[in-house]
Every structure is written in C-alpha cells, then in structure tokens.
Amino acid sequence: MRPYLLLASVLAFGAQADNPYIQNQDKLGGDDGLAFSLFAGYTHGGDNFVAVNYTNGTKENFRFGNRYHLGLGGLWENGTWGAAFNLGYHFNFADGTNGEIELERYTAEFLPYYRWDRHKFLLGPSWHFDVKADIDIDGVHEKFDFDDALGWIVEYNYQITQHNWVGVRYQWVEYDLEKYNGIAVPSGLSGDGDHWGVYYRVVF
C-alpha cells in the first residue's frame, strides 16, 4: 500500500476552512464548509477471478469486486448540497499452505450528494488505477495487470452521531486485462467488478 496516495486529499484542503462537523456540537452539523473523513468498507460481487481450494476442504470464489476498501477524503457542504472526494485502497487476498493470491487497486471518487437531515444520497464517477493481481501457488507465479477503469457509484449514507456515518453503495466497473506476466494480451479479455458494499465513515 502507498500511503502518499491516501494523504493527497488531506494536503489539498486548507486547514483554516469552516468545518460543519466540528462546529455546532449540540446538533448534527449545519454550517457550510469543508470537512475530512476516514472510511472502511466491506465489498462483495463481480466475476470470479479464480477459485481457491483450501486444504480443509473449503472453497472460496475470489471475485473481482471483493473485499476490503480503506481510505480518506475531503468533503464540502453548502446547505443541502455537497460533494465528496475520496482516495482509497481496495484489496483482497487469500493465503494457503501452498501459496497466496492478491488483487488490489487504488480508487479516486468524486461524489456529489444531496443531504436531507441525517440522510445523504450520492452519485458519481470513480477511477480505478494500478489494478493488478498476483497468484503464487506451488512455486508458480502469475501476474495480471489491468487497464485503468472508470466506474460509477450510487450510495446512501446515514449519520448515526455527530461524526459517525454508515452507508451502503453499489459500484459498476469493468476491468480489461492489459498484460499477463508482463506481456501484452489481445483486447477483449475483461472481468466484471460490479459489487455492493457496506461502509463506516468518520467525519472530522
């Protein structure tokens, strides 16, 4: 993971900006201004990338849209309308006695939203970059590099306390294979990364 990518959005905002999530502690925010957030999500969906068989007899479908999404962001709010910009690291991994599998990518999201009391309704694009997968099983190593991909997100958030939000989202995205073991491949090979996710967010 590359921390400098996740810190970029924080450095882009001025420290003296008004913050609706710090002011007015007696209510759930209300002033216009800038704020920052940290988030963690659990996602599921997409095409099967590979089937993982464990020595205990269990099996797992390693999907393009799974599994963990961590990041930070900044948001600006003006009355009932606002916009959020998020940088994240989305990854999945499986470890076994004979090897491991990893799928990872970085994400940048721009999500305009409408806010009504404790509710937020968000819709916007997401950019997935440095998308890659590694399979290392029984001494055989395979590396997959995918093109950057543009996706779309629809999301609903609910504010449970002054600084804490929970949310659900659906993401549409497709990954086109660019290289296999460093060698360019013909176009047309792709994987569906569409998925749903549940998120927890701290705004400060």
User: What is the pLDDT of the chain when averaged over all its residues?
Assistant: 85
Tokens of 80: 């009932």
Residue 13 has pLDDT above 50, yes or no: no
> Amino acid letter at 95?
D
The pTM of this model reads 0.83
Mind listing the pLDDT tens digit for each residue in 128-139? Answer: 999 999 998 878
Q: Which two tokens stand for residue 87?
A: 């940088």
Q: For residues 149 and 46, give the distance between their C-alpha atoms in angstroms, rounded to a whole number.
A: 14
Q: Give the per-residue SS3 of 110-132.
A: EEEEEEECCEEEEEEEEEEEEEE
3-203 under CATH 3.40.47.10, yes or no: no
Contact of 118 with 80, CB cutoff 8 Å? no
**Percent of the chain topping pLDDT 90:** 66
CA 84/CA 179 separation, integer angstroms: 33
How many angstroms separate the CA atoms of 177 and 48, rounded? 14
CA dist 68 → 73, 92, 96, 160 (Å)? 17, 6, 19, 22
